[in-house]
Chain A
Amino acid sequence: MKKILLILAVLATAAAFSSCKKDGTKTVLINVTVDESSLDQGLVKPDSYKVTVTNTATTTAVTANTENGKASFAELVPGIYSVEVNAVVVSDGRQYVYSGSQSSVNATDDANVAVAVTASKESALVFKEIYYCGCKIGEGDYDTYFRDQFWEIYNNSTETVYADGLCLTTLSNNYASYDFSTIYKYDIAEPEKYLFVKTVWQIPGDGTQYPVKPGESIVVAQWATDHTAETLGKSGSINLTGADFEAILGQTTLFNGVVITDNPAINMSRVIETGYAMPQWLVSVGDDAIVLFKPSKPLVNENFIASTNGGFTDAREILRSDVLDAVQWRTNQEDGLKDGGLFLPKEIDAGFQFLGATYVGKSLSRKVAYTREDGTAVYQDTNNNTNDFEINNKPVVRRNGAGVPSWNTWTK
């Protein structure tokens, strides 16, 4: 009996030691406050920011959304953390990206971190594919066709945007003389804030009629018909009956007997025309720039501005800050490389494309930067056409499987 008691006592001693254990490690609290003091007063502020704190040793990250500009992270392992703050706001067709970060935050005890955010303005809508150069319909020099021009605009963001009120315009008419020897100047205060245009076509709508979801695109055609018909562009052209909008005012019969039909695509409005009005919208097949913008103030189709050093047409000024996206092209590369040879100011776009010829049936399409988990493509947008676009031998509508807006019921 004594022997058994002795053995049990030994075991009990061992069990008693098991209770003399160290408490677990302490945890820490990180409070993050978003500092918006450096943001412009007129900017749309996000309702909430996504805050991510990452332990730099273990790379374990925790995410939370702010409430009233603050986010708290409790029960974290003490350590060194990096803090990132992000938010995206889409407004008036623009995407505003807010971001800020703080590295090497010492969180070995509770920590309070203020992260200053800055904002960058990006366009949710970008030109995805443009076809401007026309095609050949025969062997003769004049066997050319140019009515199949189209502009595909893509929602590159993660939020739905509305196409209502979007405007398209081109710059070649009011930029310079035909040989680019004279760059036109306009009589307006702070002319560096503006672009000067002849014609503006606008998508109608009350602001909510034409939603474009992420991954969807809208196709604006000069004329939304099947241009592969033998009487039109033939096989070298493209079928645009699925376009969403067409830049015509209605059915028109041209002087040469060609009937510009009014198709199921929604007719755009020509809200600005400073010179001779054409029944449809013809864009230069050789050298031009197309601009997508959302006017911040109503466009007035009168009281135009005249150039002070030449030019045959008056111009309407549009704010550069209203520009969502723009693409420019020259026929020949060397022309675009000359001083003054490009239509767009560098802050809107620093590059250009060139096809080397006209009526070659080729299109420009934006490169895919990456594909989201849901399969939608995100296109490259570095504000440099040279880098962002590539040349295709044939135009394709909604290349890479871009989505069709739900209100387009006529696209097969």
Chain B
Amino acid sequence: MKKLFPIVLSLCLSGISALAQGSYTPQEREVMDSRSLWIATDNAAAFYFSPLPHFGLVGVKGSRQEGEFRPAREASGSTSITAIAAGDATVGKLFLLGDFAFRNIFDNGCNYNTNQYEPTDDMPYYILDTNPSRWIRQEYDMRVRASLPLTSVLAAGLDVHYIDKVGAKQKDPRSETYVMDIDIRPSLAWKPAQAHLFGVSFLFLYDYERAYPSNNNYRIDQKTVCTLGLGEVNNSYVGGNNGLKEYYYTRYLYGGALHYAYEGDFALRAELRGLMGSTEVEHKKSLPESKGRTETLRIDASALLLWGEKANRLQAKAFYRATDGIEKVQQLDDAAFNQQWITIATNHMSDYDRMEASLEYDHLFGLNGLSYVWSTGGRVHFANESDAYLLPASSFNWTRLGAEAFASRRFSVRKSSLYARAGIGYDKSLNGEYVYGGVKTDSPAIGLYQEDIAFYSADCAQVRASATWSLTHRKTCFNLGLEGGFKKALSGEGSRFSAALSFDIFF
């Protein structure tokens, strides 16, 4: 995998080295992306039939988030510095689109997580401690998409996404965790007629995480728990010869998607994707012991409709994810020279189901090519989480409905332009409840779910604003951006603000 890095990086940066056809302002970039039928899909092959304008981009962004209105395992405060590079190029008949990002993330006030780089709601098997700590993370994120015509009506594509992550918890019990993620999506696009396109893509994802917990102060063992889901835990500790050692998360996902697009008086693109796979959680490779397995099924559907010379855009998205938590009953066979944990039963113990749907519309006023004068739009979204631990019965359920309105305007200032955007939103909690049915009422994991349900049960309002000043000089556009956001709980307490400063160059 390490050899792949320079290859992918060079492909990603080929867009930079290739001679761009012209620079674009951030507003024009936004139109390019929002009006592209294929940039947000799995079908790289279709780029041959709907090519993007050539561009190149390098930039750096610093951001800060702070506030207590957040899920329990999210950092109380987070600072990140990101360097990005992106671009596309045509090499012969081959179209290439790539991007690279390096992120350095400094988190503080992280709780309820000892060993996972990025906790997710549907991974119940990890180590939990209640010592709020800082985390330092780094990510190398590379993606390249390629499209190659096979015939005049058939194209092949490949989408490869590679991420390398490393993180370190800064307080005992501390962990160093390494993550490697590779996602490969080959695709085909067939355009039998001028207006219609049919596509298919396949997905293979391999994700590997290794986390090693330890104590800097080796004299004091640190109490932890091994979580099973929704507050159920097994007591454990980190330290000494018999404390917890390394955890391994190995995930395989397989799937595919079907695509259809129509381009005539209006443009329509539909995508239906299905994924399934599993994640194995193992403890200590020297005597591997299963800590659990999750099995996931995910269905995504989206549709994009553009009309009125693409001035109008309507996008609908929905996904459904069902994850099962499987626990294994194991016995230690301590035969001399052949010690091993033997699985004698597997039990489906927990479910983590989520459904989300959203509908978004925007209209561009004064659209001329990729530029417009001002825009307005709105978005509604719905989300539902329904989790259950089967024995003893515990549940974690919430439902939210939200709406957002936004508007943007471009102002010309001599050779430069100012692009301003603002939005307000309101989220309403329709229900939220956590019930722990077990007997370990002093489990520290219960606090995690209680904080989470307080977050997901709170109504909130948010405002966002951004301003980007762009100066174009000799086909190069320099952009200085400032963003800010504030979210406040309306029922309950807490707020969270975010701010970001960015500088990038389009060419």
Interface residues of A (CB under 8 A from B): 3, 6-7, 10-11, 13-15, 17-18, 21-27, 57-60, 75-80, 104, 106, 108
A6 to B299, CA, bound (A): 16
- Chain A residues with Cβ under 8 A from B390's Cβ? 24-25
CB pair A3–B299 under 8 Å, yes or no, is no
Given the known inter-chain contacts A14-B319, A21-B351, A25-B348, please indicate yes or no for A78 contacting B329, CB distance below 8 A: yes
Question: By CB atoms of chain A within 10 A, which of B301, B330, B345 has the most?
Answer: B345
CB pair A58–B320 under 8 Å, yes or no, is no
Residues from 261 to 300 in B contacting A, C-beta threshold 8 Å: 268, 270, 272, 297, 299
Q: Besides A10-B270, A60-B439, 12 other CB < 8 A contacts? A: A3-B305, A6-B303, A7-B316, A14-B318, A18-B353, A21-B351, A22-B348, A27-B391, A58-B234, A60-B440, A75-B391, A76-B391
B438 interfacial by beta-carbon distance below 8 Å: yes
A77 to B228, CA, bound (A): 13
Closest Cβ–Cβ distance, residue B351 to chain A (whole Å): 7
- Chain B residues with Cβ under 8 A from A26's Cβ? 347
- Chain A residues with Cβ under 8 A from B320's Cβ? 14-15, 17-18
Identify A3's interface contact among B268, B297, B302, B439, CB under 8 A. B268
- Chain A residues with Cβ under 8 A from B83's Cβ? none
- Chain A residues with Cβ under 8 A from B268's Cβ? 3
B357 interfacial by beta-carbon distance below 8 Å: yes
CB pair B272–A108 under 8 Å, yes or no, is no
B344 interfacial by beta-carbon distance below 8 Å: yes
CB nearest neighbor in A for B228: A58
CB pair A57–B329 under 8 Å, yes or no, is yes
CB pair B322–A21 under 8 Å, yes or no, is yes
A104 to B353, CA, bound (A): 35
- Chain A residues with Cβ under 8 A from B318's Cβ? 10-11, 14
Closest Cβ–Cβ distance, residue A112 to chain B (whole Å): 17
- Chain B residues with Cβ under 8 A from A106's Cβ? 331, 344
- Chain B residues with Cβ under 8 A from A24's Cβ? 348, 390
- Chain B residues with Cβ under 8 A from A18's Cβ? 320, 322, 353, 355
Given the known inter-chain contacts A3-B303, A17-B299, A75-B391, please indicate yes or no for A80 contacting B355, CB distance below 8 A: no
Given the known inter-chain contacts A21-B351, A58-B228, A108-B345, please indicate yes or no for A14 contacting B391, CB distance below 8 A: no
Interface residues of B (CB under 8 A from A): 228, 232, 234-235, 268, 270, 272, 297, 299, 301-303, 305, 314, 316, 318-320, 322, 324, 329-331, 344-345, 347-349, 351, 353, 355, 357, 390-392, 438-440
CB pair A77–B331 under 8 Å, yes or no, is no
- Chain B residues with Cβ under 8 A from A15's Cβ? 320
Identify A17's interface contact among B297, B347, B438, CB under 8 A. B297
Q: Identify 19 residue pairs between A and B in the complex whose beta-carbon atoms are under 8 Å apart, listed by A's number.
A: A3-B303, A6-B270, A10-B270, A13-B272, A17-B297, A17-B299, A18-B355, A21-B322, A21-B351, A22-B348, A24-B390, A25-B390, A25-B391, A57-B330, A77-B391, A79-B345, A106-B331, A106-B344, A108-B329
A7 to B270, CA, bound (A): 9
CB pair A58–B348 under 8 Å, yes or no, is no
CB pair B316–A14 under 8 Å, yes or no, is no
- Chain A residues with Cβ under 8 A from B353's Cβ? 18
Closest Cβ–Cβ distance, residue B497 to chain A (whole Å): 35
Given the known inter-chain contacts A6-B270, A25-B391, please indicate yes or no for A59 contacting B319, CB distance below 8 A: no
CB nearest neighbor in A for B359: A7
Interface of B (DSSP majority class)? strand
Closest Cβ–Cβ distance, residue B299 to chain A (whole Å): 5
A58 to B301, CA, bound (A): 40
Question: By CB atoms of chain B within 10 A, which of A6, A23, A58, A104 has the most?
Answer: A58
A204 to B215, CA, bound (A): 66
A7 to B315, CA, bound (A): 10
- Chain B residues with Cβ under 8 A from A75's Cβ? 391
CB nearest neighbor in B for A15: B320
- Chain A residues with Cβ under 8 A from B301's Cβ? 10-11, 13-14
Closest Cβ–Cβ distance, residue A15 to chain B (whole Å): 7
A18 to B344, CA, bound (A): 30
- Chain A residues with Cβ under 8 A from B234's Cβ? 57-59
A58 to B327, CA, bound (A): 11
- Chain B residues with Cβ under 8 A from A6's Cβ? 270, 303
CB pair B438–A60 under 8 Å, yes or no, is yes
CB pair A22–B319 under 8 Å, yes or no, is no
In order of increasing CB-CB distance, the 5 nearest A-B pairs are A10-B301, A108-B345, A25-B347, A14-B320, A25-B348
A25 to B388, CA, bound (A): 12
Closest Cβ–Cβ distance, residue B324 to chain A (whole Å): 6
- Chain B residues with Cβ under 8 A from A22's Cβ? 324, 348
CB pair A78–B351 under 8 Å, yes or no, is no
- Chain B residues with Cβ under 8 A from A7's Cβ? 303, 316
A23 to B326, CA, bound (A): 12
- Chain B residues with Cβ under 8 A from A17's Cβ? 297, 299, 320, 322
CB nearest neighbor in A for B307: A3
Closest Cβ–Cβ distance, residue B230 to chain A (whole Å): 13
A78 to B320, CA, bound (A): 30
Question: By CB atoms of chain A within 10 A, which of B316, B319, B392 has the most?
Answer: B316
Closest Cβ–Cβ distance, residue B228 to chain A (whole Å): 7
A14 to B301, CA, bound (A): 8
Identify B329's interface contact among A13, A21, A80, CB under 8 A. A80
A77 to B345, CA, bound (A): 10
CB pair B355–A78 under 8 Å, yes or no, is no
- Chain A residues with Cβ under 8 A from B438's Cβ? 60
Closest Cβ–Cβ distance, residue B360 to chain A (whole Å): 12
A58 to B445, CA, bound (A): 14
CB pair A78–B331 under 8 Å, yes or no, is no
Given the known inter-chain contacts A10-B272, A18-B353, please indicate yes or no for A108 contacting B324, CB distance below 8 A: no
- Chain B residues with Cβ under 8 A from A25's Cβ? 347-349, 390-391
A27 to B345, CA, bound (A): 12
Question: By CB atoms of chain B within 10 A, which of A10, A21, A80, A108 has the most?
Answer: A10
A58 to B272, CA, bound (A): 41
Identify A78's interface contact among B272, B345, B357, B392, CB under 8 A. B345
CB nearest neighbor in A for B343: A108
A77 to B316, CA, bound (A): 42
Given the known inter-chain contacts A10-B270, A10-B272, A13-B301, please indicate yes or no for A77 contacting B349, CB distance below 8 A: yes
- Chain B residues with Cβ under 8 A from A60's Cβ? 392, 438-440
Closest Cβ–Cβ distance, residue A286 to chain B (whole Å): 52
A18 to B353, CA, bound (A): 9
Closest Cβ–Cβ distance, residue A323 to chain B (whole Å): 43
Closest Cβ–Cβ distance, residue B127 to chain A (whole Å): 16
- Chain B residues with Cβ under 8 A from A59's Cβ? 234-235
Question: By CB atoms of chain B within 10 A, which of A3, A13, A80, A106 has the most?
Answer: A3
CB pair B329–A79 under 8 Å, yes or no, is yes
- Chain A residues with Cβ under 8 A from B305's Cβ? 3
A280 to B303, CA, bound (A): 105
Closest Cβ–Cβ distance, residue A7 to chain B (whole Å): 5
- Chain A residues with Cβ under 8 A from B297's Cβ? 17
